[in-house]
Amino acid sequence: MLLLSTALARRSQPVRRLLLASSRTQRSAASSLARLPPQALAVARKQRGRWAEHSAPAPSPALSALRCLALSPRLRQWLRLALHVAKLLALASPLAVTAPLVLALRAPLPALERLWWEYALWAAQSASPTLMKFLQWASTRRDLFPPSFCDRFERFHEHAPTHSWAQTEEALRMAFGADWAATIALSRQPIGSGCIAQVYRGRLLATGDDIAVKVIHPHVKELVQLDLDLMRAVMRLLEAAPKLRWLGGRDSVEEFASIMQRQLNLRTEAENLVRFRQHFQHRKGLRFPVPNLALTTESVLVESFEDGLHFSEIAQLDAARRKAVAHVVLEGYLRMLDPVDLRNFVELFHAVASNNGYKAGELIVSRSKEYATRLADGELSAQKCADLESFCRGMERIVADALGWQLRLEKVHVGALLREVLELCCTHEVKLEGKYASIVVSIAVLEAVGRKLDPDIDVLKLARPIIAQSLLKNLRLG
């Protein structure tokens, strides 16, 4: 070690001499400039500045662009969004271009159609998690989409693309440290995967309990943010049309963004599981996993392993068991609404259940943000929509048609009813409030599940006792 230090010191001596000589030269030049008269000193400095300016190379356009990107986060975001749009267009273009040919040749060349659908699945997996989320819902709506579409995309419910074990290990190291394997033991093969995360079965080494470990997909948060930014931009363009402005599309996007962002934080899911267990602790037939809050992070969720059936397996059960599951699912949804959503649902549903469509129309208008803004500005309430009487009469007709079938899912298509309501809102310039939009989305998903399990279920009959209990609870609290 001593010999190495001596050798390094000897090698560094010429460098030191060069630096000392350079330093002496700079001091000498500075002292020479200081001895010049003031006018000559100014000329010398000006000439030196010109020389430096002349000798510096002009920045290239690429370098200038990179400097702009470094200084402008907003510009960087727009560039990422443009690249994301280009990727989506590149994935969708082959489908759009070849669709007419596939439709024309599907009978003589079924292999061509099969190849087209395989590419559609791959493109959807490669596009974005938000698109996969939509396709998960769309594949349950056999009343809206053809069987060929639903049969292929329903695999996203259980078999979405997975990330590698190395990426899972990296997430576990970030969550628990390098010695994470001293805390939990995991199987390397995931037991399920969704568009946001994938799940592994494992064991908690301290207790020996079976656990499920949910790990967020890498980069999914950035992709979801790009999708949301794109949806916001599209809504701004659509709402430039006066009629479309009353759909409340921008509010719906923000509500959807809030839901998606909560799903990207697994701590929120763990807290929701705790609340679910509290709310349904006295309800037989419902069981929720127990989250381990001490081991849960934003990207990794550790919970008890609960054995169960996939939805596709439930759909294969006999009619009596499917009916029982449908009742539990619908009742569970109604009981887990938060106070604001429950109040909105109770008021609107009470108006519908009592065949008072006119009152339902008034409730929708009273929740309109446009109406609330106008009242705050002191304008007359008569200006809250283009024609309040016609709007409420239209709602009265829609409700009367629905009640003619007692809201049985076999007869009533909630999606079609919602389209009628939205068309009515556009015609009379009534802007739907964001909370109503979230309930509308939930009802659409719930209807799809209920229709598949028990088309004869009567929503009114099941909801009435829950609404009555909620009203009694509010009276006691009041």
Domain ranges for the chain: 66-157, 165-226+262-304, 311-477
| pLDDT exceeds cutoff 80 at 371 | no
Say what angle helices 73-105 and 110-127 make with each other, to 10 degrees.
170
For residue 74, give both structure tokens.
Answer: 């907003």
The answer to whether the predicted template modeling score (pTM) of the entire model surpasses 0.75 is no
The alpha carbons of the chain give a radius of gyration, in whole angstroms, of 32
- Least confident segment among 179-193, 402-416, 439-453, 460-474: 402-416
Please provide the CATH number assigned to the domain covering 165-226+262-304.
3.30.200.20
Q: List, as one string, the DSSP characters of 341-393.
A: HHHHHHHHHHHHHTT-HHHHHHHHHHT-HHHHHHHHTT--GGGSSS-HHHHHH
Compute the residue count for the chain: 478
| pLDDT exceeds cutoff 60 at 110 | yes
| pLDDT exceeds cutoff 60 at 69 | no
Most confident of 16-25, 162-171, 414-423, 427-436: 162-171
CA–chain centroid gap for 202, Å, is 28
| pLDDT exceeds cutoff 70 at 447 | no
pLDDT digits (tens, 9 = 90+) for 387-428: 778 888 888 888 777 666 555 545 555 556 666 777 787 777
For residue 448, give both structure tokens.
Answer: 């799809």
